Amino acid sequence: MSLTDSAARNAKPREKPYKLSDGHGLYLQVEPSGSKLWRLKYRFNDKEKRLSFGVYPSVTLAQARERQVEARRLLGTGVDPGEYKKQTRRAAIVASANTFEAMAREWFLKFSAVWAKSHSSKVLLRLENELFPWLGSRPIASIEAVELLESVRRTEARGALETAHRCLGYCGQIFRYAIATGRAQRNPVPDLRGALPPVKTTHFASITDPSGVGGLLRAIDGYHGALVTRCALRLAPLTFVRPGELRKAEWAHFDLIGAEWHIPGERMKMGRDLIVPLSRQAMDVLRELHPLTGHGQYLFPSVQRATRPMSENTVNAGLRRLGFTGDEMTGHGFRAMARTILDEVLGYRVEWIEHQLAHEVRDHNGRAYNRTAFLQGRKDMMQGWADYLDGLRSPKDVVAVIPKANQSRVPQRITPTGPSAKILSFVNTALKGGAE
């Protein structure tokens, strides 16, 4: 006789558990505590087994019968319904652990250790603001290209096209990581190639003409603002590091005896240590600055709080005060200035220049060079560069343009003539030493 809902509802607990049968192996087990549990008794591979269907009345009699029918259907196809239930539950747990957000955070933790803090914070902020609200809870293996496109188009729609492209790039790396770790089968990002309009490339404004550089250097020498800002403006062309690396420079990272600046990887965009050889001119700037800020952490502390570095706008503001607009020169532009002139005018080896710019330089086996690579050549180059800048400061004399070097990339000598002979002879001496 089949069980009725009324009988199930009115069943009272006894001293020992007892069963109310509904037929076909389905029964309601009433516990001494008063709990009423749905169970299915069945046989699989000649073994008697039991399967739980939940608690009455949360699972009604009708629902329990539906589950019993489904279990019998699985048995008819040779599937153990108990094992099927375990696998389904396990798959749900795995899927919840493999959401896009979970995978993205795992990827971030694994790779951000070698990034600069400023870069890693930007990546995480973009993930949290641009992607997680819409994709975070989705199982990564089930995300299709159209969902990714909808998310990045929200970013594009508010005018942040470059951020949209960057977010799509992050997604590509996250999916590749998920595939490599067995949590996804394919990467939908390549399907979206061309789906976003291209970003219009803009370059940081820079002065690269030698005569213009001379005027800039003379203007910096005449800067009448704060000494800290003046020293930062003077050190920027001599070291041509990134603006963030300059403003966050710490005295502890300077070897004033060996004339080297050792920037740790966590301060670098690419996450790798960099040695910046310091020319005599750069050391002069440090000697002038040290009595003022040498007792603290930073070379260029904030005016408001000495425990923090100066603002990221300070150098650019100093350039504006000198009369250079944002379309003419920026703090980042000192890098383009050095890159252009060291190569096209002074003819130094590209490997030396790129390594000093902290760009990735690889050997013939595709391995990235370490921080001490080309160190002696770079020391000679940095001193030759500083001496060349001194020559450009002369407003009356024209500093000769050095032709492109031959395939060996050895800088050629300048033949000094006229009133510039003394300066140019000094530069030639430095260049001769830099042509190893």
Q: What is the pLDDT of residues 107-164, one digit of tens each?
A: 998 888 767 677 788 899 999 999 999 999 899 999 999 999 999 999 999 888 989 9
For residue 222, being part of any structural domain is answered with: yes
CA–CA separation, 67 and 70 (whole Å): 5
What mean pLDDT comes out for the span 283-301? 95
For residue 155, being part of any structural domain is answered with: yes
Q: Indicate the range of 101-110, 303-312, 367-376 predicted with least confidence.
A: 367-376
Catalytic residue of the set 49, 72, 165, 269: 269
Is pLDDT above 70 for 419?
no
- Judgement on whether residues 160 and 247 belong to the same structural domain of the protein: no
Local confidence band at 405 (pLDDT 50, 70, 90 cut-offs): very low
What mean pLDDT comes out for the span 89-107? 80
For residue 203, being part of any structural domain is answered with: no
**Residue 396 appears among annotated catalytic residues:** no
Local confidence band at 433 (pLDDT 50, 70, 90 cut-offs): very low
Catalytic residue of the set 138, 154, 369, 409: 369
Q: Which of 71, 95, 119 is the last residue of a domain?
A: 95
- Judgement on whether residues 116 and 61 belong to the same structural domain of the protein: no
What mean pLDDT comes out for the span 253-259? 94
Dump pLDDT digits (tens) for 149-168: 999 999 999 888 989 999 99
For residue 220, being part of any structural domain is answered with: yes
Q: What is the pLDDT of residue 237?
A: 95
Catalytic residue of the set 9, 186, 359, 404: 359
**Residue 369 appears among annotated catalytic residues:** yes
| pTM for the predicted model, two decimal places | 0.52
**Residue 269 appears among annotated catalytic residues:** yes
CA–CA separation, 128 and 170 (whole Å): 12
**Residue 355 appears among annotated catalytic residues:** no
What mean pLDDT comes out for the span 49-55? 92
Catalytic residue of the set 36, 126, 183, 242: 242
Catalytic residue of the set 247, 332, 355, 379: 332
Residue 58, domain extent: 5-95
Q: What integer best gives the mean pLDDT of the chain? A: 84
Q: Which of 74, 95, 116 is the last residue of a domain?
A: 95
Q: What is the pLDDT of residue 399?
A: 43
What is the number of structural domains in the chain?
A: 3
Which residue would you say has higher pLDDT here, 86 or 247?
A: 247
Q: Indicate the range of 5-9, 187-191, 205-209, 243-247 predicted with least confidence.
A: 205-209
Dump pLDDT digits (tens) for 293-324: 999 999 999 988 888 999 988 999 999 988 88
CA–CA separation, 199 and 169 (whole Å): 13
**Residue 36 appears among annotated catalytic residues:** no
Q: What is the pLDDT of residue 163?
A: 92
Q: What is the pLDDT of residue 328?
A: 86
